[in-house]
Structure 1
């Protein structure tokens, strides 16, 4: 039983560690240590971005999280460093900030034309819900077509959250990062943007994602008659089948 998992450890979400390593530490380094009396522009940028870059690579290697969203995150941090180190016009930072969520949103839309829409992979999957039980109830009630239609709508809503992120990222980057790249002011503004992006973009996006899950859940409840407790995945609820 343990052989399938011995070389790939379980990935347990650690939001506070993610927040500390990807947002707070880099922001503090960029805003407070970019002066010549401390690390200087180049070293502050390298060390500040090394935290989210290193953490992203660690997650990819350690937990085999080789999904394209995780890879895009690592690429995004690398591009930010490249813009600062190569002293490319700061307007390209805004383009890059908008491009990453836009690419993800487009991927969500394109996936609706395939057998495996991303919303199914991320929200309607056996790690979150008891998919087999739900599908069986849908078949018994003849509601599969209606459910698939609702799942498609959820995919469009899901893509919309990334469109929101793309627009907000662009506005925020153009508003906050106005100094030439490669300068102390650029580093400080980049740190400020990283901090501000969490309450202004990440939290609203998270609320939208929760709303999409609630929409999906309301659909499941109406079409199957099951309560959330009845269809939540044993993996998600923390109850395995070990003791049964």
Structure 2
């Protein structure tokens, strides 16, 4: 480990903070403060989108999370702001909402043809699992090829979750955001769409992700004979030991 990497703080998931900063606060600002008696259309849009944009940039800079998906998230918020501020046809918002998860899904599929499939980076990685131990057990049992086949199938499932998000994002945007961009109604509808997208898209996608991880874990257990505790990443295993 280099001195530079030692100085990077560990990234601990904070789902409630993410939910508050990226969904709830922007939605409230857009829906409640877009009137002329409050912030007005332009300032409400700028202030509302500043929260997810600022949070995304903070995560990228502080934790060096310079990955494809994190960068796309920041770009997505920037494009939303551009559509509203430049009064571009609101139909482009639906296209943008679908394009971002679709781009990630395509990247997942393309990555399966490379040495570094994204499913390994996001689900099967040393921060979660003791991949070295798993690979050693697979090699000893002669199951490496079968595991690679299951990992490829998990990649297809993974890409499918983003396809689901793309379709639902497009439908939701077309259904809710119907007013011209640059208006108070557009801001309010954008806030409503942001709020509704969490239970309608984010939660189902999260459930699908958990199901994919469970499929991957079942494959590891079947092919290596290890329990989950035996193949957790060393730092996670230590935490479990301290709890027990």
Q: TM-score range by the shorter chain?
A: over 0.9
**2:3 aligned counterpart, secondary structure:** coil
Aligned equivalent of 2:40: 40
Residue 6 of structure 1 and its aligned partner are, at CA, apart by: 4.1
**2:11 aligned counterpart, secondary structure:** coil
Unaligned runs of 5+ in 1: none
Check whether the contact 1:42–1:182 (CA below 8 A) recurs between aligned residues. Answer: yes
Check whether the contact 1:45–1:81 (CA below 8 A) recurs between aligned residues. Answer: yes
2: distance between equivalents of 1:224 and 1:2?
32
Residue 9 of structure 1 and its aligned partner are, at CA, apart by: 1.3
Alignment of 1:82-121 (within 5 A): 82-121=82-121
Unaligned runs of 5+ in 2: none
State yes or no: 1:145 paired with 2:133.
Answer: no
TM-score by structure 2 length? Answer: 0.96
Residue 234 of structure 1 and its aligned partner are, at CA, apart by: 2.1
Residues 161-186 of structure 1: CA deviation (Å, up to 9, x unaligned) = 00000000000000000000000000
Aligned equivalent of 1:221: 221
RMSD: 1.7
Q: Return the structure number with greater helix share.
A: 2
Check whether the contact 1:234–1:240 (CA below 8 A) recurs between aligned residues. Answer: no
Alignment of 1:54-65 (within 5 A): 54-65=54-65
2: distance between equivalents of 1:200 and 1:237?
34
Residues 53-103 of structure 1: CA deviation (Å, up to 9, x unaligned) = 011111111111100110000000000000000000000000000000000
2: distance between equivalents of 1:98 and 1:238?
41
Residue 232 of structure 1 and its aligned partner are, at CA, apart by: 1.0
1: distance between equivalents of 2:113 and 2:61?
30
1: distance between equivalents of 2:189 and 2:83?
14
TM-score by structure 1 length? Answer: 0.96
2: distance between equivalents of 1:111 and 1:61?
25
Q: Which runs of 4+ in 1 moved over 6 A?
A: none
State yes or no: 1:193 paired with 2:189.
Answer: no
Check whether the contact 1:8–1:64 (CA below 8 A) recurs between aligned residues. Answer: yes
2: distance between equivalents of 1:87 and 1:140?
61
Residue 240 of structure 1 and its aligned partner are, at CA, apart by: 9.7
Residue 11 of structure 1 and its aligned partner are, at CA, apart by: 1.1
Deviates more, 1:225-234 or 1:4-13: 4-13
Check whether the contact 1:165–1:201 (CA below 8 A) recurs between aligned residues. Answer: yes
